[in-house]
Structure 1
Amino acid sequence: MKAVVHVMLKPGVLDPQGEAVRHALGSLGFGGVEGVRQGKVIELDLAGSDAEAAEVEVKQMCEKLLANTVIESYRIEIA
């Protein structure tokens, strides 16, 4: 089973990497980009076949390590 975790900065949190990407895109001639938010995607290969148990376990992983829940939000997909 595979879990995919999407981690993004919460709205209102300054994103200097996203701003650097937006500026670089403007320098390359892509002037229509008004904002960029940069995040991360984490793919986990999990043993087992119980999707509900996997989601609970991955949520614990996010809360303890994968996301800084003070400034980041996350979304889990189980496949």
Structure 2
Amino acid sequence: MWRATYPHSGAVFAFRGRRRERIKLLMWDGQGFCLYYKVLEKGRFPWPSPADGTARLTSAQLAMLWEGIDWRRPAWTAPPARVV
């Protein structure tokens, strides 16, 4: 069953390019729509597989998606050994 989401509900809508190196986020801020656009120089954005045509992400998953981090298997790195 497909359910439309009302754009003024606070939802963030994410769209990706065909080659998955570009992403657009669209959201309503109370006065108008804001469009955020990002292009990765290396790599591709991870993308959830939609069950019913849409995928729902938590705010943490959306933040990782925006940074190009695959939230399904994040790679934790060690902190820097020395700060210069």
State TM-score, norm by structure 2: 0.29
Higher helix share: 1
- The higher-RCO structure (CA 8 Å, 6+ apart) is 1
State TM-score, norm by structure 1: 0.30
